[in-house]
Amino acid sequence: MARTLDLAARPAAGANPRTATSHAKVGIVAAIVGLMVVAITTIGNLVIADSSPVLASQLAWPFGLGTTGLGVMKIGVAVVLIGIIVRLWYRVDSVTQALTAIVGDAARQPTSPTTISTDIGPAKVSANPPPPLLIHRMARALWLPMLAMGAMALVIGLIVGLAASGQAADSAAFRGLSAWAQGTLFLGEGLLLSGISFLLGSILAGLREGGGEVQAALGAPVKTLTMPTSAKAFIALMAVGMMAAIGQFIGYAVVATQYAGNAAVFATNAAWLGPLREVALGVLLSGIVLALYTISRVLGFQFTRIRELITTAA
Amino acid sequence: MSTQTPNRPSTTTSKIPTRAEKRPDEFTVVASDQGLGLNLPQTMGNRLWAPMFVMAVMAFAAALILGFVRSNAIATSADPAMIAQLGHVTTGVMFIGFTAVFSAITFAIARILGVFRSEGGDVQTLASGHVQTLKMPAAAKGMVVSMMMGMMAIVVAVVLHFYVAADVVGSSEAALTAAAQWGSALEGVRRLGVGMHLFGIVLGLATIIHVLRFQSIRILEVAKERSASR
């Protein structure tokens, strides 16, 4: 487990790239477990739909358990992303070895720092690998705390949700507990998605660092893509999504503590807090789309640079 | 100053002749003399991630506005049937956003896999002229199937939400109870749809690990092939 979580577990020099890691299997197993929990809650929802009337207290347990199941699946996503980061280091070592054999000293040339334009976007040229950006350092430091806090919030939300399901549907106690459960569960989901976003940021950091390392090892000018607009938008969406996730939690806390005794005011506020909590996750997911797009662009840039280096040896 | 992009084959799927080639490890590949470009899911991923992303952002904004409208309707003690209708419509629009954003994520993963396939082929073409391309792994096929199942589940739920909203006529107890019963059933279906989407994403990311491992091995083989041919 410690090895699975250790992002710095870079393979030793000369490590065999055939070495298999367990991240994909662990992630898929977590996703299957989460999906099974979700399927159980779907059956629960269908059974509850047969009752007349449908009470809000009946829906509390499938909501809590189902949201937790989706959280487990997100943890599976995170584990596979960690596996990708580890694999990228194997790739750096393999590409360095291969290009050293193919290119030799042909790529070695003096470098003066400058900015160039490429097919993929503007890039900086330097003699040495560029230092990590602030956001990359943050990503590497914060992915684990975010995931850990997210998992804890989900567990707390699930327990509170189960406690709510034991209360009378039209009681203030139910409304209060239900609001706490919804706010906490979706805060947990938001934290998990932020952890995933930081892991994607760590992948981008690894691509930047590793790409520089390969070029520097060859003595070639180090070309590094400047931060694309999509990466900036990713950071902005992640920040907005996380703020919305915290905002909905605060909103639910206020409603639970101030308005649980007033059914009408409670319902009015719950009507906008529900969409807000879902939009918070939607915004975080939108940021993830842009992070993945950025990764594909950076990979495209790196492959172009690899071909360029091979061409110098032709 | 501009970098020179070496001449490279088209990155679209083409009729390049391939032959089966056995490797001593677990990777199943086809061999060719040049890169194979993108396959169909990767081409779709390239084209569709952005429209899906835009659709998701628009749907989320619309759903949030509808949520505030419904909140206002409750505060002003509007017709209970209208409140129930707005509840179903808000959820329906919100989940158009969710299926769109999860599809965008899946398409973006397919795009990454497309870069590996297309550009990896181009690097091999340039370095040794002997290209090995991974056959689509089972996990990648699972990603496509899982995404389609998730999308279908959510689209069915969304259509039913709109149908139920249109069907809530009058504020009779029976109509409101039926709307609540549909709400419970569709919540479960939606959640299962989200789960299928997430499962597809996990499989897609696992495919990236598989491809990275193959390419890390293959680039070393390419270097050996090149030195042997000189």
Residue-wise pLDDT for A252-262, tens only, equals 999 999 999 99
Q: What percent of chain A has pLDDT over 70?
A: 96
Residue-wise pLDDT for B43-61, tens only, equals 999 999 999 999 999 999 9
Q: Which of A124, A261, A299 is nearest to A179 (CA)?
A: A261
Q: Which of B115, B114, B109 is nearest to B146 (CA)?
A: B109
Q: Which 193-252 residues of chain A touch chain B by CB within 8 A?
A: 223
Q: Is the pLDDT of residue B160 over 90?
A: yes
Burial A296-305 (b: 16+ CB within 10 A, else e): bbbbbbbbbb
pLDDT the model gives residue A5: 58
State the pLDDT confidence band at B9, using cuts at 50, 70 and 90.
very low
Q: DSSP letters of B84-129?
A: HHHHHHHHHHHHHHHHHHHHHHHHHHHHHHHHHHHHHHHHHHHHTS
Q: Is the pLDDT of residue A44 over 60?
A: yes
CB A84 within 8 A of CB A196: no
Task: Please report, for residues A92, A293, A300, B3, B12, the alpha-carbon distance to residue A200 in angstroms, rounded to integers and kept in the order given.
Answer: 17, 11, 17, 27, 27
State the pLDDT confidence band at A119, using cuts at 50, 70 and 90.
confident
CA distance B18 to chain A (A): 23
Q: Beta strand B19-21 with A114-117: parallel, antiparallel or unpaired?
A: unpaired
Distance, first Cα to last Cα, chain A: 46
Q: Which of A271, A183, A189 is nearest to B65 (CA)?
A: A271
Q: Which of B108, B96, B134 is nearest to B201 (CA)?
A: B108
Under 8 Å CB-to-CB from B105, ≥6 apart: which residues?
A285, A288, A289, A292, B197, B201
Among the residue ranges A117-121, A137-141, B87-91, the one predicted with the least confidence is A117-121
Q: What is the mean pLDDT of residues A59-65?
A: 94
State the pLDDT confidence band at A36, using cuts at 50, 70 and 90.
very high
B24 in contact with A at a CB cutoff of 8 Å? no
Q: Is the pLDDT of residue A147 over 70?
A: yes
pLDDT the model gives residue B162: 97
Which strand ranges, in their side-by-side order, compose the sheet holding A222-225?
Answer: A114-117, A122-126, A222-225
B104 in contact with A at a CB cutoff of 8 Å? yes
Residue type, B93: V
pLDDT the model gives residue A106: 80
- Cβ within 8 Å, pair B116-A299: yes
Chain B contacts of A31, Cβ < 8 Å? 198-199, 202-203
Among the residue ranges A286-290, B2-6, B52-56, the one predicted with the least confidence is B2-6
CA distance B56 to chain A (A): 8
Task: Please report, for residues A38, A142, B131, the alpha-carbon distance to residue B215 in angstroms, rounded to integers and kept in the order given.
Answer: 36, 30, 11
CA A238 centroid distance within chain: 10
Q: Which residue has the higher pLDDT, B6 or A156?
A: A156
Q: Is the pLDDT of residue B122 over 50?
A: yes
- Select from B85, B191, B214 the residue whose CB has the most chain A CBs within 10 Å, as the one to mutate to test that interface: B191
Q: Which residue has the higher pLDDT, A110 or A157?
A: A157
In the numeric block, which tokens belong to residue A77?
A: 């996503």
A15 in contact with B at a CB cutoff of 8 Å? no
Q: Which of A145, A25, A8, A150 is nearest to A79 (CA)?
A: A25
In the numeric block, which tokens belong to residue A153?
A: 């919030």
pLDDT the model gives residue B13: 53
State the pLDDT confidence band at B4, using cuts at 50, 70 and 90.
very low
Which strand ranges, in their side-by-side order, compose the sheet holding B29-32?
Answer: B19-21, B29-32, B131-134
CB A244 within 8 A of CB A183: no
Under 8 Å CB-to-CB from B167, ≥6 apart: which residues?
B175, B178
Chain B contacts of A69, Cβ < 8 Å? 195
Cis previous bond, A53, omega within 30: yes
Q: Is the pLDDT of residue A22 over 60?
A: yes
Q: Is the pLDDT of residue B3 over 50?
A: no
State the pLDDT confidence band at B168, using cuts at 50, 70 and 90.
confident
Q: Is the pLDDT of residue B153 over 60?
A: yes
Question: How far is A147 from A141, CA to CA, in rounded Å?
Answer: 12
Q: Which 152-181 residues of chain B touch chain A by CB within 8 A?
A: 177, 180-181
Question: How far is B22 from A61, CA to CA, in rounded Å?
Answer: 52
**B223: nearest CB among A48, A102, A282:** A102
In the numeric block, which tokens belong to residue B124?
A: 């091999």
CA distance B216 to chain A (A): 5
- Cβ within 8 Å, pair A285-B201: no
pLDDT the model gives residue A107: 81
Q: What is the pTM of this model?
A: 0.94
CA distance B138 to chain A (A): 13
As beta bridge partners, residue B69 has none
pLDDT the model gives residue B174: 86
- Cβ within 8 Å, pair A49-B182: yes
Characterise A121 by phi-psi region: left (phi > 0), alpha (psi -120 to 50), beta (else). Answer: left
pLDDT the model gives residue A293: 98
State the pLDDT confidence band at A108, using cuts at 50, 70 and 90.
confident
Q: Is the pLDDT of residue A13 over 80?
A: no
Nearest CA in chain B to A225: B3
Chain A contacts of B63, Cβ < 8 Å? 275, 278-279
For A117, counting Cβ atoms within 10 Å of its Cβ (0-12 exposed, 13-18 middle, 19+ buried), the class is: exposed
- Cβ within 8 Å, pair B202-A88: no
Nearest CA in chain B to A19: B213
pLDDT the model gives residue B8: 42
DSSP code for B216: H
Question: How far is B30 from B159, CA to CA, in rounded Å?
Answer: 43
Q: What is the mean pLDDT of residues A85-107?
A: 93
The overall average pLDDT reported for chain A is: 93
In the numeric block, which tokens belong to residue B179?
A: 């709307």
Chain B contacts of A248, Cβ < 8 Å? none
CB A77 within 8 A of CB A31: yes
Question: How far is A53 from B177, CA to CA, in rounded Å?
Answer: 6
Q: Which residue has the higher pLDDT, A170 or B190?
A: B190
Among the residue ranges A94-103, A183-192, B105-114, B165-174, the one predicted with the least confidence is B165-174
Backbone angles phi, psi at B21, to 5 degrees: -140, 130
Residue-wise pLDDT for A205-253, tens only, equals 999 999 999 999 999 999 999 999 999 999 999 999 999 999 999 999 9
Chain B contacts of A40, Cβ < 8 Å? none
Count of pairs with CB atoms under 8 A, one residue in A, one in B? 266
Q: Which of A239, A166, A154, A170 is nearest to A198 (CA)?
A: A239
Place of tokens 């629009």: B93
Nearest CA in chain A to B183: A49
pLDDT the model gives residue A4: 54
Question: How far is A301 from A207, CA to CA, in rounded Å?
Answer: 10
Q: What is the mean pLDDT of residues A16-32?
A: 94
- Cβ within 8 Å, pair B4-A311: yes
CA distance B15 to chain A (A): 23
Question: How far is A8 from B162, CA to CA, in rounded Å?
Answer: 49
A274 in contact with B at a CB cutoff of 8 Å? yes
Q: Which of A99, A85, A90, A313 is nearest to A217 (CA)?
A: A99
Q: DSSP letters of B20-62?
A: EE--SSS--EEEESS-----HHHHHHHHHHHHHHHHHHHHHHH
Q: What is the mean pLDDT of residues B179-208?
A: 96
